[in-house]
Structure 1
């Protein structure tokens, strides 16, 4: 009887071990960690190629539209408020580290102070961004629609000595396209510095309708030095509801160092009255207290020519909204 009990106990332990092993295999897979995008559908991929170096902004826009993005928010405009029609604000370069063609976004103080699409209403800022196409019929699959889950992946690089302002200097935005509260972005990745240019850091900021559900700066004091002249891989995951989820992981490609690993599973991730959330990339920065129509323009030493390199933009979604484009409170 004692041997029978011992045998049964042994079989029980083996069964529990088998269950544990099976569970691990299902989570991690036989060849390593599970694909974090399992269950998602890849809806688009954007990267440049050898045909794009030297192309003007119109050709870049046409190219990006093929993949569901557009390049319409740039300073290549004519007007008295920061128009710089002859400037090269986006180009393609062959990157020696990645050994592939990548986009380079530029914002200028010299020889011309770039503005915000020649707008007379926003003379205190500069904008040079690409974004998901503002068409939620053809390109609903790359927008964040109500109750959908979305993953955004991309690589970017900031130059050595990149100098943020003490005010906003966004390099990525999640922003409602429409609705009564679409002025401020929902989520931003924001380099920032003190007013004297010190304490250069990366932040992630959350804002919702100006309501108490906005959490403000949710990631702060990530040293900008860890990003300078380094390619990094970004993965964002969102569940677009008022009781939503947001995560962001940024890994430095050269050595695999995790620079940011943030997750919040109870965050308001919608703008009331919006029909969808678009994703944006580039440089959108304040003139740090200055205006295009004043002299001097902006705050020194925080303003100088800056660049951002971008490639491998991928969009995934699951739980697809069957009626995208309908406004939701």
Structure 2
């Protein structure tokens, strides 16, 4: 079953490419076919500098987000003219995997670049894969395309072992059966311990395409594309790339290793899409939006678009373990004492939050509802005079998606 959200009314409407866009010709990755020249041009949208932008070039940093190896931090950092991703044997992102990645692209003015429906993008960069970064019999991914609504990746560059041989592979996923499909591979060992250039071009649509080019200097190792594939899984969120090392710890012979990435560039075919315009947040007395600047989102928890939420956003992926939680900060009270707190959230059937006020004992907040409508429930909370923090979490299962809270007056 495909996962679809509601379209963000007005705000998430796409600028249509009114002319049919032909897939790129088999020129080099920087080439433009005659058909493209006649219809639309590649426009550079992103070209960050490690020295100038650092990790702020990306929308978010996933540097040991479970806190498994604080002695090894930072795991993601600038090294000379490149970004470096370290992978230690101690690192964990769950019991059977490790992850040190960056996600998304951020412009110099701090705005995320959003890859939306039926847009065509081309990502080009150089990468250095040392011989300690082995292909594995389980999974090792060094690039991904994902969106917030669905855990399954849309596409990847991975390092599998195929018939006993180390490979580098480009793949896309099908959501209906949660399976990956390699459409191009190359031997890994000949490109290790050297800089190689890779280009990933794709149309982010229901009937999209993906092209992967791998070059060693002027020599093209791979130039393959697959057409008619579904690379758009949600109407509400947007696709975004990820770079780094995300691997299973179940393969034998894993080594401590790293990955280097430099000369990142993103181009869009056709004009830049205007930024999404969101409705205003709730600014009434006692209202605190979950996505408000200054709040804390730990682990996988993050703000995402929401058509039915105030402010046009919600915080997703709260709960299910001790790592993924959200904290609403700056909750004010003139005097100490109990207050009614109304929680606004999108609920998938029956779910619950655990709520801790200022580090106090957990308050259970069960909710029943649907993911296309905001559900509310009210619980009493004890606040101190002045500034309070309220933490939303669950150690056992995913919690609802949090829109906002509203603190009422005391009795």
Task: Give the structure-2-normalised TM-score.
Answer: 0.53
Residue 200 of structure 1 corresponds to 166
Correspondence 1:115-154 to 2 at 5 A: 115-116=92-93, 122-133=94-105, 139=111, 142-154=113-125
- Residues 119-140 of structure 1, C-alpha deviations (whole Å, 9 max, x = no match): xxx22110011121589x9635
SS of equivalent residue, structure 1 residue 64: helix
Residue 265 of structure 2 corresponds to 314
CA distance in 2, matches of 1:88, 1:123: 21
Residues 34 and 72 (structure 1), Cα distance of their counterparts in 2 relative to 1, 3 Å cut: closer
The answer (yes or no) to whether the contact 2:132–2:256 under 8 Å persists in 1 is no
Residue 300 of structure 1 corresponds to 252
Pairwise CA distance, 1:226? 2.1
- Residues 265-295 of structure 1, C-alpha deviations (whole Å, 9 max, x = no match): 321111134521010101000112xxxxxxx
- Residues 84-103 of structure 1, C-alpha deviations (whole Å, 9 max, x = no match): 34434134334xxxxxx212
Residues 279 and 245 (structure 1), Cα distance of their counterparts in 2 relative to 1, 3 Å cut: same
Of Structure 1 and Structure 2, which has the larger fraction of its residues in helix? 1
Residue 185 of structure 1 corresponds to 153
CA distance in 2, matches of 1:206, 1:152: 16
Residue 282 of structure 1 corresponds to 244
The answer (yes or no) to whether the contact 1:46–1:64 under 8 Å persists in 2 is no
CA distance in 1, matches of 2:43, 2:31: 16
The answer (yes or no) to whether the contact 1:129–1:281 under 8 Å persists in 2 is yes
Pairwise CA distance, 1:186? 0.6
- Residues 153-188 of structure 1, C-alpha deviations (whole Å, 9 max, x = no match): 1110101243122111000001112x3xx1111110
Unaligned ranges ≥5, structure 2:
1-24, 278-304, 308-411
Unaligned ranges ≥5, structure 1:
1-26, 52-61, 95-100, 117-121, 289-298
CA RMSD of aligned residues (A): 3.2
CA distance in 1, matches of 2:213, 2:146: 19
The answer (yes or no) to whether the contact 2:161–2:167 under 8 Å persists in 1 is yes
CA distance in 2, matches of 1:270, 1:166: 28
Task: Give the structure-1-normalised TM-score.
Answer: 0.66
Which one scores higher on RCO, CA 8 angstroms, separation ≥ 6? 1
The answer (yes or no) to whether the contact 1:174–1:185 under 8 Å persists in 2 is yes
SS of equivalent residue, structure 1 residue 184: strand
CA distance in 2, matches of 1:92, 1:63: 6
The answer (yes or no) to whether the contact 2:209–2:229 under 8 Å persists in 1 is yes
Residue 240 of structure 1 corresponds to 204
The answer (yes or no) to whether the contact 2:144–2:243 under 8 Å persists in 1 is yes
